[in-house]
Amino acid sequence: MSHKVFRYGGDFAEIRIARAQGSYIFDHAGRAILDFTSGQMSGILGHGHPEIVAVVNHMAANLDHLHSGFISDPVVTFADDLTAMLPDSLERVLPLSTGGEANEAALRMAKTVTGGFEVVAFDRSWHGMTGGASAATFSGGRRGHGPTLPGVLTLPTPHAYRSPFNKSGDYDWRAEFEYGWEIIDRQSTGQMAAVIVEPILSSGGIIELPEGYLAALRDKTHARGMLLILDEAQTGMGRTGDHFAFERDGVVPDILNLSKTLGAGLPLSATITSAAVEQDCYDKGFLFYTTHAADPLPAAVGAKVVEIVIRDQLASRARELGDYLKAQLADLQQRHAIIGDVRGRGLLLGVELVTDRQTKAPASDLGMAVSQRCLELGACLNIGRRASAGVFRIAPPLTVSRDEIDSAMAIFDQALGECGTV
């Protein structure tokens, strides 16, 4: 290791990035690399979007940070604009910095309102690295540092490709769902507070909830006096082809968490809930006082992101380009035996590699080789580790062009061909 940066998630890539623009990042030699992870799955407007740059420059010079006890016009505008995109019941916004922080706030709200403490999460989930969020994260990061918070119960992830409830292609997700809740009810002490889930599990391997699942989950949640929290860190702001992934199912959560895509690459998140939940929390002395809560600079960026997503119809664009990209991935699946499954929607797609399509044996080492070769050829295609080993998470900016998609898929095709002999 030639530098003093702590390795917080395994090894770093050998190249160093010098700058970024649009759908590309550039190394010190000026070599262009297509960024099909949108940074950390966040930069939905690409790198260096001129309107975002202008907002940052203006706010940095005029009003960047305040004591958290103050409110400012950019924060009010951000909350108004964001809630205008949402169902009427989601009308109170807590602006924060990261997805983990937003999930912490949501879990604390649910515990305050219900008086319970038990939380249900998917067994392939990722909700963050802070205390409560990491306790509800099961796709990695659980070992080596002692016990997590008590009271977190797991629900089987409805992973159609690998579920034991999928018999010869006939996936009975309802049977799996009912079985999971039977186990949860046996474990519970009767003090349930919340269910927290992603509509499409990203770090878990781009696993999309079956149609009807979210409605069934809402009913189970409310029947037990719990609140339903949707973590749309990666699915919000148009990426899946709707402004928010829950819109496909017509299920409005009690609490909605946005992050990553909300700041288009800058640290901004939001926990959004009803006036009734906000009032109940306030009456009970709810406290979530952080240094950068309701900072004006990121709030102004968030308001601009909302404006651009609506004005430029980026949700529709993600749906159209997602269909185009998914068709190319399906074609690659026909030509490369190591591709076992293609899934996801909009511009959040997954490609799972296997060593054998019949046994579905994971191909994590092969996936790492393909990912490295893609990087050498000029495309950053993220390969999952831990629970999603061997799964590529493909999530370009919503501003990506068809030509850029074609270029990335040509590179992916070449890398699969060179590395994928099984």
pLDDT tens per residue across span 325-350: 999 999 999 999 999 999 999 999 99
Q: Which of 92, 239, 260, 343 is catalytic?
A: 260
Residues, the chain: 422
Query: How many angstroms separate the CA atoms of 257 and 238, rounded?
Result: 14
Please name the residue that has the structure tokens 């990061």: 141
Task: Answer yes or no: are the C-beta atoms of 32 and 259 closer than 8 Å.
Answer: no
Q: Domain coordinates of the chain in residue numbers?
A: 17-49+313-419, 51-311
pLDDT tens per residue across span 261-293: 999 999 999 999 999 999 999 999 999 999 999
pLDDT tens per residue across span 372-421: 999 999 999 988 766 667 899 999 999 999 999 999 999 999 999 999 76
Please name the residue that has the structure tokens 């044996």: 361
Q: What is the pLDDT of residue 264?
A: 95
Query: How many angstroms separate the CA atoms of 301 and 19, rounded?
Result: 20
Q: Is the pLDDT of residue 18 over 60?
A: yes
What are the phi and psi torsion angles at 331 (to 5°)?
Answer: -65, -40
The 8-class DSSP code of residue 124 comes to T
**Could you confirm whether 198 is annotated as catalytic?**
yes
Tokens of 363: 């191909």
**Span 51-311: which CATH code?**
3.40.640.10
255-258 and 269-273 beta bridge pairing:
antiparallel
Q: Which of 92, 111, 126, 341 is catalytic?
A: 126
Q: Which of 35, 81, 118, 231 is catalytic?
A: 231
pLDDT tens per residue across span 75-100: 999 999 999 999 999 999 999 999 99
pLDDT confidence tier of residue 422, bands split at 50, 70 and 90: very low
Task: Answer yes or no: are the C-beta atoms of 260 and 42 closer than 8 Å.
Answer: yes
**Could you confirm whether 234 is annotated as catalytic?**
yes
- Round the average pLDDT of the chain to a whole number and report it: 95
- DSSP string for residues in 169-207: TEE-HHHHHHHHHHHHHHH--S-EEEEEE-SEETTTTSE
Q: Which of 91, 224, 234, 254 is catalytic?
A: 234
Q: Which of 176, 198, 254, 404 is catalytic?
A: 198
Q: Which long-range contacts (CB under 8 A, 24 or more apart) does 244-252 make?
A: 244/85, 244/86, 245/199, 245/200, 246/199, 246/214, 248/211, 249/199, 249/209, 249/211, 249/212, 249/213, 249/214, 249/215, 250/215, 251/214, 251/215, 251/217, 251/218, 252/87, 252/89, 252/90
Q: Which of 108, 218, 319, 393 is catalytic?
A: 393
What are the phi and psi torsion angles at 288 (to 5°)?
Answer: -145, 70
**Could you confirm whether 260 is annotated as catalytic?**
yes
Q: What is the pLDDT of residue 277?
A: 98
**Could you confirm whether 284 is annotated as catalytic?**
no
pLDDT tens per residue across span 125-162: 999 999 999 999 998 888 888 899 999 999 999 999 99
**Could you confirm whether 393 is annotated as catalytic?**
yes
Q: What is the pTM of this model?
A: 0.96
**Span 17-49+313-419: which CATH code?**
3.90.1150.10
Q: What is the pLDDT of residue 388?
A: 67
